[in-house]
Amino acid sequence: MAVLGEFARTRLAGDRLHRARRRDARTADPARGLAAGMDDACRRDAALDRTIAGLGLGALARPQRHPEFGRHCAAVELFGRAAAGGRSDLPETARAPLRRAVRAAGRRARAGGVGTRARRTLTMRLVLATERTRFDAGAERLAIELARRAQASLHVVYPLVANPEYQIVAPERVAAEEAAARAALEELARQASAAGITVSIHVREGEEPWREIADEARERQADLLVVRRIGKRGVLARLVVGEMVSQVAANSAVPVLMVADSPLWSRRVLVAIERHARAAAVAPVAVTLAALAHAPLAVCADESDAAIVAESARRQGVACERLADAGALDAAFAPRVQQAGADLLVLGLTPAQSAHGRLSRAIEELIGAVPCPTALVRG
């Protein structure tokens, strides 16, 4: 198929020159121009035969020759010329199955990345962490919408604080809490089902809720973990981000999307990659999130990192432009998000920004200073 693609490009260049010469001839002599047009049609039929043979579809063409060649070539015979392609004229009923077969072969080639660059299917494995509080409502709505856009199922995890001593002393209370959690998740599952989403619910018990959430995402091999951010703005960024959420983001092996109470982004996705962060890990996450919402990308990173994101965006057909280096990722970066007209921020973090089991203070302040959802990708 690669050879066939090269042949097609060469053939296209030759055809353009050939058509230009034919136009000049038609202008000088309309009669000869009509004959040349018929000649061109026969030449195209012959080229189609060769293409069909190269695709292994030649058997479809052999019985389809038109028996009344003279009637269709009367204009050529009138002006004293013979068609170069011979008996290659096909009726429309014969051409239709050939067209379908050629197009199907082309689709198979594109799906396999042969001859043209294939556009990958957007698939995501989504995990939503929730405790069904009013602060979780925004993350729940957005996770359902993402699952609908990606045509994916949704795994929902509900963390419960528990320890062996507590289970021994008050087993009835533990059982009641678990039953209440499952009832709350069943209500969420009904909401998702109304949107056509399949939901699986998981109640996990442990001494550290953040660890149960991170473990669930890892075990499900999730592509994205959606969590609340706590939407009530306060003086301290930590009150906006939340202790458990910060620990989840700092320890999760998969990208984390923090949501307060925002709809799905649609205007622009801004990607900020600090030096020493892994752009190769950030790029597929940012491009997929942009493609799901049909939104363009803007990149704040150095030239090499921006090139990595731009190449990933090009493969998915997502518009992408580089703005400037991200610089330090802290609260001072927040105005640039608004200036870019972005309604989703994707941050590429260095190991130092998620050290000591929680996000750095600068990153938490940045997340608290922007109103839009924020996706965090650790390097």
252-306 pLDDT, tens digit each: 999 999 998 888 999 999 999 988 889 999 999 999 999 999 999 999 999 999 9
- Report strand pairing: 154-161 vs 297-300: unpaired
pLDDT of residue 324: 86
pLDDT of residue 10: 53
CA 195/CA 99 separation, integer angstroms: 38
Cβ(213)–Cβ(178) under 8 Å? no
Q: State the chain's mean pLDDT as an integer.
A: 78
pLDDT band at 320 (very low <50, low <70, confident <90, very high): very high
Read off the pLDDT of residues 324-352 as tens digits, 9 standing for 90 and up: 888 889 999 999 999 999 999 999 999 89
> What domains does the chain contain, in order, with CATH numbers?
2-111 (no CATH), 119-264 (3.40.50.620), 265-379 (3.40.50.620)
Read off the pLDDT of residues 60-77 as tens digits, 9 standing for 90 and up: 444 444 444 444 444 443
Q: Which residues of 97-129 are buried (b: 16+ CB within 10 A; e: fewer)?
A: ebeebbeebeeebeeeeebeeeeeeeebbbbbb
Q: Which residues contact 296 (CB under 8 A, 6 or more apart)?
A: 268, 269, 290, 318, 319, 320, 321
CA 116/CA 122 separation, integer angstroms: 18
Asked whether the predicted pLDDT for residue 237 surpasses 90, the reply is no
Read off the pLDDT of residues 175-229 as tens digits, 9 standing for 90 and up: 888 899 999 999 999 999 999 999 999 999 999 999 999 999 999 999 999 999 8
Asked whether the predicted pLDDT for residue 159 surpasses 70, the reply is yes
pLDDT above 90: percentage of residues in the chain: 51
Read off the pLDDT of residues 119-141 as tens digits, 9 standing for 90 and up: 444 568 999 999 999 999 999 99
Tokens of 15: 């055809």
pLDDT of residue 71: 41
Read off the pLDDT of residues 70-117 as tens digits, 9 standing for 90 and up: 444 444 433 444 444 444 455 566 666 666 666 665 555 444 443 333
| Greater pLDDT, 12 or 378 | 378
Read off the pLDDT of residues 18-33 as tens digits, 9 standing for 90 and up: 565 555 555 555 555 5
